[in-house]
Chain A
Amino acid sequence: MERQTRQEYIHDLEVVQELVATMGDKALTNVEQSMKALLEDDAVLAKKVMKADDAIDDMIIDVEDKCILLIAKQQPIAHDLRVIATGFKISTDIERIGDHAFDIAKTAASVKEPLNPDCKRWIEELGNCAASMVRRAVKAYRDRSVQEADEVRKMDKQMDDVFEHTFYALSDFVTKEGARQKGATQLLFIARFLERIGDHAVNIAEWVIYLETAERIHQKKNRLI
Chain B
Amino acid sequence: MIAALAQWFGDASRWAGADGIPQRLVEHLAYSALALAIAALIAVPLGLWIGHTGKGERIVVLLSSGLRSLPTLGLLTFLVIVLDVSLGQVLIPVTVVLTILAVPPLLAGCYSGLQAVPREVVQAAVAGGHSTTQVVTAVELPNALPMMIAGLRSAALQVLATTSVAAYVGLGGLGRYLFDALGVQDYTKMLAGALLICALALLTDGLLALLQRLLTPAGVRLERARNH
Answer yes or no: do A and B interact: no
Interface residue ranges, A against B (CB under 8 Å): none
Interface residue ranges, B against A (CB under 8 Å): none
